[in-house]
Chain A
Amino acid sequence: MISAEEQIAASRHLATKSGQGVQRFLIGLAVVLTAVMIVAPLAYIFRRAFADGVGPYWAAITTPDTLHAIWLTVIVTIVVVPVNVAFGIAVAWVVARFRFPGRGLLMTLVEIPFSISPIIAGICYLLLYGRRGILGPFLQEHNITILFALPGIILVTMFVTAPFVAREVLPLMLAKGSEQEEAAVTLGAKGWQVFRYVTLPGIRWALLYGAVLCSARAVGEFGGVSVVSGRTRGQTNTLPLQVEQLFNDLNTGVAAFAAASTLTVIAIIALFAKALLQARAPHN
Chain B
Amino acid sequence: MSLISNLRAAAAVLVLSTAPALAQDKILNVSYDIARELFEALNPVFAADWKAKTGRDVTIDQSHAGSSAQARAVLEGLPADVVTFNQETDIDTLVQGGLVPENWRELFPNGASPYYSLPAFLVRKDNPKGIKDWNDLTREDVKVVFPNPRTSGNGRYTYLAAYAYALDANGGNQEEAQEFITKLFANVPVFDTGGRAATQTFAEREIGDVLITFEAETAGIAAQYADKEFVRVTPSVSLFAAFPVAVVAANAEKNGSTEVSNAYLSWLYTPEAQKILAQNHYRVTDASVAAEFKESLPEVKLVTVNEAFGGWAKIREEHLSEGGILETLFNN
Contacts and interface: CB of A to CB of B under 8 A. Distances in A.
Interface of A: 58-59, 62-65, 67-68, 71, 126, 129-133, 136, 140, 147-148, 226, 230-236, 245, 248-251
Contacts of A230: 30, 63, 73, 78
Contact of B1 (A59, A126, A147): A59
15 contacts: A59-B1, A64-B12, A64-B13, A67-B10, A71-B10, A131-B75, A136-B77, A147-B77, A232-B28, A234-B13, A235-B61, A245-B36, A248-B34, A250-B223, A250-B224
A251 B40 CA distance: 14
Given A67-B6, A68-B14, A251-B37, A233 B1 contact: no
A71 B14 contact: yes
A138 B13 CA distance: 31
Contacts of A251: 37, 220, 223-224
B77 A130 contact: yes
B77 A231 contact: no
Interface in B33-52: 33-34, 36-37
Please classify how large the interface on chain B is, using the bins under 10, 10 to 19, 20 to 34, 35 or more: 20 to 34
A195 B64 CA distance: 48
A248 B65 CA distance: 9
A62 B17 contact: no
Contacts of A248: 33-34, 196
Interface string B260-284: 0000000000000000000000000
A235 B62 CA distance: 9
B111 interface: no
A53 B37 CA distance: 23
Given A68-B13, A248-B196, A231 B63 contact: yes
B34 A250 contact: yes
Contacts of B298: none
Interface string B138-181: 00000000000000000000000000000000000000000000
B221 interface: yes
B101 interface: no
Report, nearest first, the 6 A-B pairs whose CB atoms are least far apart. Answer: A130-B76, A131-B77, A62-B6, A67-B10, A250-B220, A64-B13
Given A140-B77, A249-B34, 13 more contacts: A63-B10, A71-B10, A126-B76, A130-B77, A131-B75, A147-B77, A147-B78, A230-B63, A233-B63, A248-B33, A250-B217, A250-B223, A251-B220
